[in-house]
Amino acid sequence: MDWGKIESILIFTSILISFLAIGIIFENIALNRILKSIKKDSNFAELKVILDSLRKPIILWFVLLGIIVSINIKKVEVEKFHIEAIKKIIISLFIFSLTHVLSQSISKIIEAYMRKREIGTLPATSLIENVIKVVIYTIGILIILQLLGISITPILTTLGVGGLAVALALQSTLSNFFAGLQILASKQIRSGDYIKLDSGEEGYVVDITWRNIIILTLQNNIIFIPNSKIINSSITNFSMPDKELAVPVNVGISYQSDLKKVEQITKEVAKEVMKEVDGGVPEFEPLIRFHTFGDFSINFTVILRAKEFNYRSILIHEFIKRLHEKYKKEGIEIPFPIRTVYLKSEKQN
């Protein structure tokens, strides 16, 4: 029995288990304590994201460190050729895991920063997150290939030639991708905005992906619209320059009505709705403008104001209901359409 090999295996195993245990302890105790201590402090938001990303790879790093330590001990018998190969594999695994940590951390930090500030070069969307991840992973893989002695120059050349062929084959996909980047760069559409296309689709922007914009309608359905279509469409963004928007309501009263009294009562109801109904802007002064002598009524428009688009319907609903009740109490008539029909009869011979 070769006791030397057995001793070598035991030493290697004990060191590996020791570093694994240290990694688990560090991840479950030290890392958790640090996260708890900075959890409520907004000044450490970026550090918290990085530490969260370290939860899984930290144990792997301790194991890799344990392997490095064990193969450098004289009593652990490993051939020199194998040592060099193991070191390259370990460094490659470390770089790849570090690449993963960086891609997760940087994308989350940028997303959190943009959502917090609502400023920056680009709004936070999965498209930006995916682009960042692809760039970081590409750099990490190229570094690993260079470390393993694989020349990356032919690979870059092949990617250049192959990229041209792929670009020709995927014109539609690339068109949507670059259209998505253009949408983000223009900052005219952001996640959370309520938009309406000239083709009729409307809803809240949930996300801007590499291929399409995802819209959530008020009926709780999802619409997927290609980015290239968005670029070539006329769009109304109800969330810009800010989310508050005017809510016009058309009303008609009879010609016998006292217009001053109508204006006063209508404004009282409108103010009541603004203050009492959820989604109204309490400090807004409602506007009333008479504008038309209609066929059977004097028509005017009442301008309310909503905090955002999805409050429009409830504000209109409550205003019409309360205004109808108030007009009924005050004896103000909302006339029905009137049509006079003349019948002409001819004597038959």
Crossing angle between the packed helical segments 3-25 and 57-71, to the nearest 10 degrees = 150
The span from the CA of 248 to the CA of 346, in Å, is 50
Residue 82 has pLDDT above 70, yes or no: no
- Is residue 45 within 8 A of residue 117, CB to CB? The reply is no
| Dihedral in degrees, nearest 10, Cα atoms 129, 104, 135, 213 | -10
Query: pLDDT, tens digit, for every residue of 41-64?
Result: 666 666 677 777 777 788 888 888
Please tell me which of 123-132, 133-142, 173-182, 282-291 the model is most confident about, judged by mean pLDDT: 282-291
- Is residue 165 within 8 A of residue 173, CB to CB? The reply is no
Residue 248 has pLDDT above 90, yes or no: yes
Residue 155 pLDDT grade (very low, low, confident, very high; cuts 50, 70, 90): low
Lowest mean pLDDT among 99-108, 109-118, 206-215: 109-118
Tokens of 122: 């680009």
Q: What is the DSSP letter of 30?
A: I
Looking up tokens 């016009």 gives 248
Residue 298 pLDDT grade (very low, low, confident, very high; cuts 50, 70, 90): very high
201-205 mean pLDDT: 87
Tokens of 150: 């694989």
Closest CA to 148 of 214, 194, 206, 93: 93
- Is residue 19 within 8 A of residue 62, CB to CB? The reply is yes
Residue 300 pLDDT grade (very low, low, confident, very high; cuts 50, 70, 90): very high
Residue 156 has pLDDT above 80, yes or no: no
Write down the pLDDT at residue 122: 42
- Is residue 302 within 8 A of residue 274, CB to CB? The reply is no
DSSP string, 240-284: SS-S-EEEEEEEEE-TTS-HHHHHHHHHHHHHHHHHHSTTB-TT-
| Residue 187 three-state SS | coil
Question: What count of other Cβ atoms lies within 10 Å of the Cβ of residue 51?
Answer: 17
52-79 mean pLDDT: 73
Question: What count of other Cβ atoms lies within 10 Å of the Cβ of residue 146?
Answer: 11
| Residue 94 three-state SS | helix
Write down the pLDDT at residue 338: 66
Query: pLDDT, tens digit, for every residue of 96-107?
Result: 888 888 887 777
Write down the pLDDT at residue 121: 40
Closest CA to 23 of 72, 64, 58: 58
Residue 73 has pLDDT above 80, yes or no: no
Tell which wins on pLDDT, 325 or 192: 325
Write down the pLDDT at residue 235: 86
Query: pLDDT, tens digit, for every residue of 309-324?
Result: 888 889 999 999 999 9
| Residue 84 three-state SS | helix
Looking up tokens 């963004």 gives 237
Tell which wins on pLDDT, 4 or 107: 107
Write down the pLDDT at residue 188: 81
Write down the pLDDT at residue 261: 92
Write down the pLDDT at residue 119: 42
- pTM score: 0.55
